[in-house]
Structure 1
Amino acid sequence: MSVSPADFRPIALSMGEPAGVGVELALALWSARKLRPVQPFIALGDPAVFAARARTVGLDAEIVEAEPEAALALFGDRFPVHPVGAACHATPGRPDPRDAGTVIEAIRRGVEQVHGGRCSALVTLPIAKAPLLEAGFQHPGHTEYLGALAETLWGRPVRAVMLLWAEEIAVVPVTVHMPLRDACATLSADGIVETGRVVARDLARRFRIEHPRLAVAGLNPHAGEDGKLGSEDAEIVAPAVERLKAEGIIATGPHPADTMFHASARARYDAAIAMYHDQALIPVKTLAFDRAVNVTLGLPFVRTSPDHGTAFDIAGTGAGDPASLAAALALAARLAKEPVIA
């Protein structure tokens, strides 16, 4: 989904966990809109949650219920919210499983708004998985749920891939939300190849990188040390790299992960492909903790998110830093405005 400057639409911002810090970060960005530019958005969720949090953290924000078509006109003076789901019960720092339906519905409705052309992109505020799973949520996280929604609405198979992006680093984990022992057991050459295809395609069509360069990390220390530290790199990772190269994708590896993320190494690739969650997220959060953005590749629409969690410990204090949310909104607008190569 793309949008031209002449036909600008707001970004859909799903509420996320109502007990988390995301609600007040959105309010803080809106409150500072006259000091630094922020892409216009319309929040989806319970308007009372935003109004209550504004009072809690001392922000002067008039919350107004609105349709997406009215959001741009309202955004300069009022904080627009499109009501979704039931009234929430959570208080700052204290999630309530009864709110799971509203949290999930806000995501679903956000995707629908983009699918229907009413919003240009989707930015999701952080969710807490535990209360959602307790309420019967069937997906490990945002990425997997978004893929399922896209398959239903667009009517074609989707492989959703998580990209952690900042100006200085871009990393994709092949396996994501699973225990490390399961990630090692389920890692396959097919999974690496399928992930690499999605990354190469979307770096070209969304990020406008003409010939994306992928650096593939090894699973084991020293990429297996010629089999002395594990056979997976020779038996799984290396063959996957060769298959990607045979398809015309610029790919190298397996590389020892401990030497892939210093500045001169990063200059040699456009995205790193990591084998598991922490192998990807530790370098990103070390180098760009307050600026990194979670981007879901492989979707037929643009979705980004701040690369942090619900931060229950500071929710309701006003101490959260909205920099990652600002980056997520800016990147969503950038990607959505540019035409997509078919």
Structure 2
Amino acid sequence: MAHTPLAVTMGDPAGVGPGITGAAWTKLRDQVEHAFFVIGALELYEGRVPVHPIVDPGEACEVFSNALPVLSLPGVPQVEPGKPDVGASTAILASIEQATELCLSSAVSGMVTNPINKALLYGAGFRHPGHTEFVAALCDAACETPSRPVMLLTGGGLRVALATIHVPLKDVPDLLDTIKLVELGKTVAEAMRQDFAIPAPCLAFTGLNPHAGEDGTIGREEIDIINPAAAILREQGIDMSDARSGDTVFAEALSGRFDAIIAMTHDQGLIPVKTLDMWGGVNTTLGLPIVRTSPDHGTGYDAAAAGTARPDSLIAAIRQARLIANNRKTNA
């Protein structure tokens, strides 16, 4: 099967991105189906692996087995691993913008984003809550249909989407909303069918409270918010469970009962994924018109400085991006 390549963004050049990108190429160089190129500065990768400058994504597959293809990005300052430089902010964002444009034009099959430091970018005027929201805004500016970005974490045999992400726990009950949970459930169900080739997915909501509220004796969010959303989804033909206890639902998913889980809080969803697969987790953004995956870790400045970063999560993200791209093409 002929493939268009994947685009990998530079990420923060002072972080682990350059190192794990080179290591990922070394691991995947003989697997042309996973061919990718990186949008960044040649100097970031020279000395790590053989590199080959390209001017067009179409060149990547031809050179991939012999060298890491690099689509050169101007304006990347020289940085020392482990020492972030706000002067790199413009180039960091430009790499993401270019990868998104290439996805939207179908010049690439999807994008894999290396980690960024939002605090660094905020200091340079970045105004989006995070990486995901920035990519979604870029897509929305080019498309008529608004994106519905949803964070899905995969690893250790689990697929876990999040109803809330980086918010204080005390704010979660006020942020949960039946209609929003319905929209979230629909997005996850569609992604299971289109992106993961599961024709009739079975989904589960976690409860917010211990024992899923225990019939309202430990909280009413399940009765008042979550279960009504599950009922609406079932009426629309989606196999969605009522809220299930967070201490057992992940084991149920591992046994095969559920294809994906929607967790109510960040840690509720990520703890089981990272416990089962600390190094190989993948962050996938559902609800976009493009394929976007990312390693499930941050910039890792200390590991970048020490040269000890592991590429497992980036390799898994590249493989997952290819899987989703192939499934979307088959199911189109």
CA distance in 2, matches of 1:265, 1:74: 40
1:178 aligned onto 2:155: no
Letter in 1 for 2:24: L
- How do 1:49-68 and structure 2 match up within 5 A? 49-51=44-46, 55=47, 59-68=48-57
- How do 1:90-239 and structure 2 match up within 5 A? 90-166=79-155, 168-239=157-228
1:14 aligned onto 2:12: no
Taking structure 1 as reference, are residues 341 and 32 closer, same or farther at Cα in structure 2, changes over 3 Å only? closer
1:305 aligned onto 2:294: yes
Q: CA deviation at 1:330?
A: 1.1
Taking structure 1 as reference, are residues 33 and 98 closer, same or farther at Cα in structure 2, changes over 3 Å only? same
CA distance in 2, matches of 1:329, 1:267: 25
**What's the counterpart of residue 326 of structure 1?**
315
**What's the counterpart of residue 288 of structure 1?**
277
Q: CA deviation at 1:60?
A: 4.0
CA distance in 2, matches of 1:258, 1:219: 11
Q: CA deviation at 1:296?
A: 0.8
Deviations 1:78-122 (A, max 9, x none): 221112352235321121222121111111110111111211111
Q: CA deviation at 1:36?
A: 7.2
CA distance in 2, matches of 1:156, 1:196: 18
TM-score normalised by the chain length of structure 2: 0.93
**Residue in structure 1 matching 2:239, options 236, 246, 250:** 250
What is the aligned-residue identity percentage?
40
Q: CA deviation at 1:14?
A: 0.6
The 3-state SS of whatever aligns with 1:261 is: helix
CA distance in 1, matches of 2:172, 2:209: 12
Q: CA deviation at 1:185?
A: 2.1
Question: Which range moves more in the overlay, 279-288 or 255-264?
Answer: 255-264
8 A contact 1:150–1:299 mirrored in 2: yes
Query: What is the aligned-residue RMSD (CA, Å)?
Result: 2.0
The 3-state SS of whatever aligns with 1:76 is: coil
CA distance in 1, matches of 2:31, 2:121: 34
CA distance in 2, matches of 1:34, 1:138: 37
Query: Which blocks of at least 5 consecutive residues in structure 1 are unaligned?
Result: none
8 A contact 1:146–1:160 mirrored in 2: no
Deviations 1:169-189 (A, max 9, x none): 100001123232333321111
CA distance in 2, matches of 1:331, 1:255: 28
Deviations 1:142-200 (A, max 9, x none): 22112111111222111011111136110000112323233332111122111100000
**What's the counterpart of residue 27 of structure 1?**
22
Q: CA deviation at 1:37?
A: 7.2
CA distance in 2, matches of 1:341, 1:62: 35
Deviations 1:205-262 (A, max 9, x none): 1211111111100111111222222221211111111111111110002111111122
